[in-house]
Amino acid sequence: MAEPVEPPPYFDDVDINNDDNEPEDLFVSAIQYPPEKKLDNNGTIDELLNGESDLVGKLKISDSREELENVPINNGSNIVDSLEQEEIEGGDDFLEINITEPQKVGDGMGAYMAYRVTTKTNMRIFKRREFVVTRRFSDFLGLHDKLTEKYLKVGRIIPPAPEKSVIGMTKIKMSSQETNGTNGSDFVERRRAALERYLKRTAQHPVLVVDPDFREFLESDIELPKATSTSALSGAGVLRLFNKVGETMNKITYKMDETDPWFEETLTHVEALETQLRKLHANVEAMVTYRKELANLTNGVSRSAALLSSCEDHNSLSRALSQLADTEEKVESLHLDQANTDFFILCELLKDYLGLLGAVRDAFHERTKLFQHWQHSQQMLAKKREIKAKMEFTNRTDKLDQAGTEVIEWEAKVERGQENFDKISQMIKREMERFEKCRIHDFKMIFIKYLENHLDHQGQLVQYWEAFLPEAKAIA
């Protein structure tokens, strides 16, 4: 009988940030809340946590593969249900986050951009109603890494942080002029808007919004520990690259036999949606470029009409040409405003959702990894049972007890593997239901806002030309 082939090893057991030897609670942020803060009028959070702490597994990133198979995928389902029910019923709670005043700190290649994060809320989980902190870009990436580490393994869809831009940031660092949000840096404004959307999207999630790391990021006016692992050329970055390569190889060499058609259909839908959104995003980007080119050409028409009016002897015609130059100048400004509307309202939404669909695929991949762990346990169980049967057949009683113990251990691992797989499957279904509701709502609101802005621009354009029409008719 051929022995089962063990799937390729993973790279996700590499400890890249842990500096101590004390075991960390994988879901500590999902259950730790200030005891004096109330979740609702019926009881405190501590009461919700009563009896749930024993369900939460502990795991170090450096744990071996076999220990991974023993980790219960449970961060307190009753707590999660209560938090999500709170979101449905608690319509009066609000959390308003704004990022303003980006400032360049330092000079040369050691410079960085600092952003002012202002938060207003009436949520009782926060210590104050309004607070202001200063954060740098690496702090945002560090927050995303913390949330991903804690919640992705249970099937949560974690909003992605904005991507790093080495070229854009290098230009800012080498610029001798101070860069802020008011003197016209497109890169800084785009990054500021992307960071603000990231925080707002994270705050929409009923579990992530009460996470201690997220709350500390918003309200603790202290310098956060430097997130060295966010550097593109750091050792942790290289390990993450190897991790992605290893996971990609596992996808190729260890195909998952899907038993639930919902997941197969949903993943097909996500892939098709991602393809079409990518095409739409590329076309909208092209439209933004064309509008800017149209604005530049309109500016050329304005300057040419102004020069022509200055050398025209006919008074009424000269006056009409001068008025035409003024009108074209206003139209140029309108085209630029429309290009910015296309970009910041529509194009950036599409880019955000391309990232979110990637986060959805990450959650699905976590489920695949748990399936692989479960199947590996089944293969090992079959192997141990075969070894035990051979010992019984050859009457080798000296090692029979040990073989029986190993069979019992692997039976427990198989049971836990199936339980973990079932739990992450249920979690992903709930997360996808939330994701679809948010996606439909976001697209509806953005399309309405985009069309309203578009109609305003077109109405203004009509007014400009209607104002010019009498001047053109007055040419005698």
pLDDT single digits (tens) 351-389:
999 999 999 999 999 999 999 999 999 999 999 999 989
What single string gives the DSSP state of each residue in 118-153?
EEEE--TTSSSSEEEEEEEHHHHHHHHHHHHHHHGG
CATH superfamily of 28-226: Phox-like domain (3.30.1520.10)
**Do the domains at 28-226 and 284-473 have one common CATH topology?**
no
For residue 439, give both structure tokens: 């996606």
What are the extents of the domains in the chain?
28-226, 284-473
Q: Do the Cβ atoms of 126 and 134 come closer than 8 Å? A: no
**CB 416: neighbour CB atoms within 10 A?**
19
Among the residue ranges 264-273, 392-401, 442-451, the one predicted with the least confidence is 392-401
Residue 151 to residue 356: CA distance in whole angstroms: 15
Residue 82 to residue 42: CA distance in whole angstroms: 11
SS3 category, 29: helix
| pLDDT at residue number 61 | 32
Give per-residue pLDDT as tens, 134-178. 999 999 999 999 999 999 999 999 999 998 877 777 777 666 554
Mean pLDDT score of the chain:
79
| pLDDT at residue number 254 | 54
Contacts of 357 (CB under 8 A, 6+ apart): 270, 273, 274, 277
CATH superfamily of 284-473: Arfaptin homology (AH) domain/BAR domain (1.20.1270.60)
Helix H or strand E encompassing 43: strand 43-44
Q: pLDDT: is 275 or 236 the higher one?
A: 275
Which amino acid, one-letter code, is at 117? V
SS3 category, 464: helix
For residue 165, give both structure tokens: 């831009």
Give per-residue pLDDT as tens, 29-50. 443 444 444 344 334 333 333 3
CA neighbor of 103 nearest in space, from 143, 141, 134: 134
| pLDDT at residue number 181 | 40
Q: Residue 89: pLDDT above 60? A: no
| pLDDT at residue number 10 | 44
